[in-house]
Amino acid sequence: MKSIFRTLKRLVLLMLAVLLAYQFWVFGWVLWWKWNPVSETSFMEIRLDELQEKNPQAKLQYQWVPYEKISVNLKRAVVAAEDDKFMEHNGFDWAGIEYALKKNQRKGKKVAGGSTITQQLAKKLFLSPSRSHIRKLEEALTALMIEALRDKRRILEVYLNVVEWGSGVFGAEAGARRHFGQSAVSLSASQAARMAVMLPSPRRFEKRFPAYVTEHAQSVQQRMSYSSVPR
C-alpha cells in the first residue's frame, strides 16, 4: 500500500512539475512577444495541418502589420463586437461572464460567451479550440500573464494580427485583402463592422453571411463611435 501512495505522490509531483514548466514556457513567449511580432500561433498550426491534409502545398495567408497600420474603424468595431469593456477590465469581464452564463442557462445551450479579447488572445496564441475545464484554467492563467506584461495597445495589436478571418486567413491585413481587396489601414466603418462580426465563426461566415449577421454588423457600426481603443 505504501508503495502505491509513493507512486501516486511521484506522479502528482511530476504533473505539477510539467505544469510549472509549461507556465514558464508560456511566460517566456508572452514576454518575447511584448516587443516582437508573432510569427505563428497554436491556431495557425492547427489550421495549416487541416489545410495540408487536403492539399500538401497549402499555405496560410498572414502578414503582420503594426498597430498604426490598422484602421481605427477596425479597432473600434472589434472592441464593440467582442469586448466593449476592453479598456476597463484587467483581463476578465465578470459582468459579461455572468450575463453569458444566465443566457446560456435560459436557452439550455451555449449561445453566448463571456471571454474578453485578452482571454481570446491567450487561447489563440497557445491553446486549442477544444473545451475543457483544464483548458479554461490555462486560458485564465495566460490571460493574467498577458495583462501583467503588456499594455492594452499591444494586446489589441497582437489580437488583430493573429485572429482568423477566413479559411487559412489570419490577421487584419490578410483579412482586409481577402474580403475587400485593400489594406487594413484603409477599411471603412461598414467594412470594419462586417469583419468584426465574422470573428465568432470566420470560416462559416466567409462562405455565407446570414441576414442576422448583417443586422449585427449594422448594430456594431452604430456602436463603434462609443468604443474606446488605445491610441
Torsion-angle region of residue 108: left (phi > 0), alpha (psi -120 to 50) or beta? left
Q: State percent of the chain over pLDDT 90.
A: 63
User: Whole-prediction pTM value?
Assistant: 0.86
The span from the CA of 184 to the CA of 71, in Å, is 6
72 pLDDT higher than 80: yes
Distance of CA 163 to the CA centre of its chain: 6
Per-residue confidence (pLDDT) for residue 103, from 0 to 100: 62
Q: Between these two residues, 177 and 4, which has the higher pLDDT value?
A: 177
**Vertex 148 angle, CA 145 and 153, to 5°:** 105
How far is 184 from 172, CA to CA, in rounded Å?
6
How far is the C-alpha of 196 from the C-alpha of 86, rounded, in Å?
Answer: 15
> What is the C-alpha separation between 142 and 144, in angstroms, rounded?
5
Query: Would you kindly state where each structural domain of the chain is located, as residue ranges?
Result: 1-32, 38-226
Listed as own residue / partner, the contacts of 60-63 with beta carbons closer than 8 Å and 24 or more positions apart are: 60/168, 60/169, 60/170, 61/166, 61/168, 61/169, 61/170, 61/174, 61/177, 61/178, 62/169, 62/170, 62/171, 62/174, 63/171, 63/173, 63/174
Q: Which residues contact 69 (CB under 8 A, 6 or more apart)?
A: 173, 183, 184, 185
The predicted pLDDT at position 111 comes to 46
Q: CATH for 38-226, among 1.10.3810.10, 3.40.50.1970, 3.30.413.10, 3.30.420.40?
A: 1.10.3810.10
Confidence at 33, pLDDT banded by 50, 70, 90: confident
Identify the pLDDT of residue 15.
77
Please classify residue 33 by burial: count the beta carbons closer than 10 Å to its beta carbon, then call 0-12 exposed, 13-18 middle and 19+ buried: buried
* pLDDT band for position 208 (cuts 50, 70, 90): confident
